[in-house]
């Protein structure tokens, strides 16, 4: 386990370095930060002086090195708009996004596992065909459309759920705010999380179905039948546990990708998370905030992948976490 973690940490550092170079180097393409800082009325002379002071005239590598040194100490620059450390701004918004992702993940697991299993076990049942049809639909409809539909029906027409905002939150230890523990928060969370889940859920149903169908044809499942085990044990223990392995691998990546989809969902629902913040930062050419966002998201990716690998190792006895 220790060797595994050390190796994993090495990989993570490498990935983070690449991400940091990429996100740092795009900042020049995003527009002139000075315009945001000082406005139009300042003369070219003073601008140049300011550039020098900010180090914007230094060579790329010098700038990057400075950036990296600060980044390692948790300083990702100061947001032009908020006039606060970019990392602080993001960390303020992070809990809202995490709420959204956690809730969406909950929906995905809650529905994709039974639906995928059922569709694999009874491929010709009308319910399975319905599931498969819906999943194609779900994959093809863009998130923002789903979101707008949900708002129109459940918020505007029926008035069951609020259309935007985060609602009441409960403060946990360390000042972490969550919507998951208040009724009002949950009702605000429902529509955004469902629409976020709607992108990935169909994919999960399809992966689980196809993997499980393959597993059901294997010799060891046939042997399990020949042992006279109950069908429920065969489906849930013998077949599903083996289905999980490929699902974890593919699914882990998808959960990471979901973070990217939060940008759309949060914007439509005006959910005060980092996705919404990111879009605003782009509009304001708030370069430090953009760069910081990319780095934090990269970090989330790396962490998710590590966790996925660990879970994979726990499910699959052929992978020894110690031996790698």
Partner 1 sequence: MTLLNIENLEVTFPLRSGSVTAIRDVSFTVDQGERIGIVGESGAGKSVSAFAILNLISKPGYISGGRIEFDGTLLSELDESTMQQIRGNRISMIFQDPMMTLNPVLSIGTQMEESILAHRKISRAEARNIAVDKLRAVQIPSAQKRLKQYPHELSGGMRQRVVIAIALLTDPQLIIADEPTTALDVTIQAEILELLQNLCNEFNVGLILITHDLGVVSQVTQKIIVMYAGAIIEQGDTENIVTRPKHHYTRGLLKALPENTTPGEKLNQINGVMPTLQDIPHGCLFHNRCDMVKDVCRKVQPNLQGIASHSVACHFPISYEE
245 binds partner 1 (CB under 8 A): yes
Contact region with partner 1 (CB under 8 A), list: 33-41, 125-133, 236-244, 289-297 = 236-244
Helices (H), the chain: 2-25, 33-38, 44-54, 60-72, 86-121, 126-140, 143-150, 183-216, 219-226, 231-233, 240-269, 274-283, 287-315
Contacts (Cβ under 8 Å, ≥6 apart) of 175? none
Shortest CB 203 distance to partner 1, Å: 23
Site size with partner 1, rule: CB under 8 A: 23
In which residue are the tokens 């998130």 written?
Answer: 143
Are residues 281 and 9 in contact, defined by beta-carbon separation less than 8 angstroms? no
Task: Using CB under 8 A, pick the residue from 25, 218, 236, 270 that binds partner 1.
Answer: 218
Contact region with partner 1 (CB under 8 A), list: 139-147, 220-228, 249-257, 296-304 = 220-228
Nearer to partner 1, 119 or 151 (CB): 119
Question: How far apart, in whole angstroms, are the C-alpha atoms of residue 252 and residue 241?
Answer: 16
Terminal CA-CA length for the chain: 8
Nearer to partner 1, 174 or 228 (CB): 228
Nearest Cα to 114, choosing from 259, 264, 232? Answer: 232
Nearer to partner 1, 216 or 259 (CB): 216
Nearer to partner 1, 15 or 319 (CB): 319
Shortest CB 122 distance to partner 1, Å: 11
Contact region with partner 1 (CB under 8 A), list: 54-62, 111-119, 129-137, 225-233 = 225-233
The first and second tokens of residue 207, run together, are: 């992966």
233 binds partner 1 (CB under 8 A): yes
227 binds partner 1 (CB under 8 A): yes
HSE-CB of 224 using CA atoms within 13 angstroms: 19
Binding site for partner 1 (CB under 8 A): 218-230, 233, 237-238, 241-242, 245, 315-318
């Amino acid at each position: 386990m220790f060797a595994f973690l050390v190796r994993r940490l090495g990989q993570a550092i490498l990935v983070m370095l690449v991400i940091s170079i990429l996100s740092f180097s795009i900042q020049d393409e995003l527009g002139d930060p000075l315009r945001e800082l000082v406005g139009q009325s300042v003369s070219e002379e003073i601008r140049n002086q300011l550039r020098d002071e900010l180090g914007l005239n230094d060579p790329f590598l010098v700038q990057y090195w400075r950036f990296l040194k600060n980044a390692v100490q948790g300083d990702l620059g100061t947001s032009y708009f908020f006039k606060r450390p970019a990392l602080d701004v993001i960390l303020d918004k992070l809990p809202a996004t995490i709420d959204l992702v956690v809730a969406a993940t909950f929906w995905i697991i809650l529905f994709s596992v039974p639906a995928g299993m059922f569709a694999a076990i009874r491929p010709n049942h009308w319910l399975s065909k319905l599931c498969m049809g819906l999943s194609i639909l779900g994959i093809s409809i863009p998130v923002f459309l789903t979101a707008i539909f949900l708002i129109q029906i459940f918020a505007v027409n029926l008035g069951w759920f609020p259309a935007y905002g985060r609602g009441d939150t409960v403060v946990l230890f360390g000042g972490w705010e969550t919507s998951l523990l208040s009724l009002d928060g949950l009702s605000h969370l429902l529509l955004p999380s469902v629409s976020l889940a709607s992108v990935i859920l169909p994919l999960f149903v399809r992966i689980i179905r196809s993997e499980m169908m393959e597993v059901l044809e294997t010799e060891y499942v046939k042997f399990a039948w020949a042992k006279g085990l109950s069908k429920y044990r065969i489906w849930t223990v013998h077949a599903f546990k083996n289905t999980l392995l490929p699902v974890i691998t593919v699914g882990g990546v998808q959960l990471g990708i979901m973070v990217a989809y939060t940008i759309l969902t949060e914007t439509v629902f005006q959910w005060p998370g980092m996705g919404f913040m990111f879009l605003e930062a782009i509009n304001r050419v708030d370069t430090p905030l953009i760069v910081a966002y990319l780095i934090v998201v990269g970090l989330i990716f790396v962490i998710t992948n590590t966790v996925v690998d660990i879970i994979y190792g726990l499910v699959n006895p052929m992978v020894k976490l110690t031996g790698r």
